[in-house]
Amino acid sequence: MRAIRARYDPTEQVRVRMEQLRQLGHTTNKIEVVLMGGTFLSTPRSYRDSFISGIYTGLTGHIPAGPKRNIVPESISYAARSSIKCVALTIETRPDYCEPRHLADMLRYGTTRLEIGVQSVYDDVCGDINRGHTVRSVIRCFGQSKDAGFKMIAHMMPNLPFTSTFRDIFGFQELFQSTNYRPDGLKIYPTLIIRGTELYERWRLNKYLRNLPTHKLIYLLTIIYVLAPPWVRIYRIMRDIPLPLISAGVDSSNLRELALASLARSETQSLEIRQRESGIVEAASNEMTKKSLYTQDGGNARESSTDITPEICRRDYWANGGWETFLSIEAPIDLDTTPTSKARTSPPVLYALCRLRRLPRGGGGRFLGIRPELQGKTSLIREVHVYGNAVGLSERGVSVQHRGYGRILVREAERIARNEHKSVKLAIIAGVGTREYYSKLGYALDGPYMSRTL
């Protein structure tokens, strides 16, 4: 709806949304941009360049005056020095629009994260719903994209035709555990019946009978949370579609909340990233403390422990032909605030993370022949992220954002790349607005990457 109101003008969309965020009290000098809907990379290159340039214009106010072929480099040059930093750019695309030429264009735009419409890991399901690509295309897409440094978010759609609850569970298990996939994040969009679609006609004629009741879908989501590895973040559950437009399917808009409540009742621990992020955990802890103040009849609520020292955790795994190392700064936390109740410990709180990848050697990388910056013994940092409440660029204090956790993880990644990967170079896929930060750590612009010799 925001795009329609702005008549699909990218500059207007960015400006209006930033003003909305300011009015809500959010800090707006560090921005993440997501291009959602459609297949952006299927449009003409001239349109794409103009649209990306318009996004950066909305952030910086600078309108490129040079030749059309140079509008993207000019826009990015200004955005890198702007007071409003574009720290991440995400593009939604399809596996068949994620070939090397598409990846090269996305790097040119300053993209750091891809959202891929996978939907299912079963070829018969993809064929029945006319996805237009095979599972093999998805596997190739994941390998090429990670070799280019992108973070990979998979869109999955449980409850499709030719599936069952157990087949969906096995499908997510395959997604998380198979070295062909292992995404960094997930968006889960349960199948909905919407008028005007082919699936609606099947449902109307009683040819589609997979309309799961909400309680069974919550059970499925609970299992997915348990299966999720500690390097996976579940970004979203269910699309923002008004319930009156849904003919059949989910009848609740708060599926994540219901699934997490089910997880808590089961007393089963999940290491999924989002529910462990420091900002979210601390907000939940503060809310529990407030409630205890009103229920203890004058008693004092126990203050949460602040003397726990976070430490670096390391998890190694193999994915898409490369050696992945997931570094994080974590600390255990006790969310129980009532002195008389039994102690309850949550999963360790997550303060920061870093994704390091050792590229395949000997020409094995699917992207190495195109990017000269990645030739030779090179390792890649695909993400550095510090969690907590957003803090302005010039602000200082005790916030997680300015404790130096990002620097600590980058230095540890350098040590691993040099001593264990035997790499001679470390490259970072960095948002346009974060390049100045990495330059202070000794990195220099190297094509679309920031890199340094080890």
pLDDT in tens, 248-266: 877 777 889 999 999 999 8
Q: Token digits for 93?
A: 């695309």
Closest of 96, 62, 92, 66 to residue 79, by C-alpha: 62
Q: How many CA atoms lie less than 13 Å away from 258 in the CB half-sphere? A: 16
Quick check: helix, strand or coil at residue 317? strand
Quote the Cα angle for 36-39-45, to 5°: 110
| pLDDT value of residue 294 | 40
Under a CB-based contact definition with an 8 Å cutoff, are residues 426 and 381 in contact? yes
| pLDDT value of residue 401 | 63
* Cβ atoms within 10 Å, residue 101: 11
The span from the CA of 178 to the CA of 320, in Å, is 9
> Which residues in the chain are classed under CATH 3.40.630?
278-453
- pLDDT higher than threshold 60 for residue 397: no
- List Cβ neighbours of 404 (8 Å cut-off, separation of 6 or more): none
pLDDT tens string 210-240: 777 888 899 999 999 999 999 999 999 988 7
Mean confidence (pLDDT) of the chain: 86
The span from the CA of 405 to the CA of 412, in Å, is 11
- pLDDT higher than threshold 80 for residue 129: yes
| pLDDT value of residue 393 | 56
Domain 2-272: CATH class, spelled out: alpha beta
CA 65 to chain centre: 34
Quick check: helix, strand or coil at residue 194? strand
| pLDDT value of residue 306 | 47
**Whole-prediction pTM:** 0.88
In the chain, pLDDT over 70 holds for what percent of residues? 85
How confident is residue 7, by pLDDT bands cut at 50, 70 and 90?
A: confident
CATH topology of domain 278-453: Aminopeptidase (3.40.630)
pLDDT tens string 421-441: 999 999 999 999 999 999 999
- Which has the minimum average pLDDT: 35-44, 279-288, 426-435? 279-288
| pLDDT value of residue 444 | 97
30-35 and 85-93 beta bridge pairing: parallel
Under a CB-based contact definition with an 8 Å cutoff, are residues 214 and 251 in contact? yes
Closest of 295, 311, 308 to residue 334, by C-alpha: 308
> Which residues in the chain are classed under CATH 3.20.20?
2-272
Span 28-47, average pLDDT = 92
Under a CB-based contact definition with an 8 Å cutoff, are residues 408 and 429 in contact? no
- pLDDT higher than threshold 80 for residue 1: no
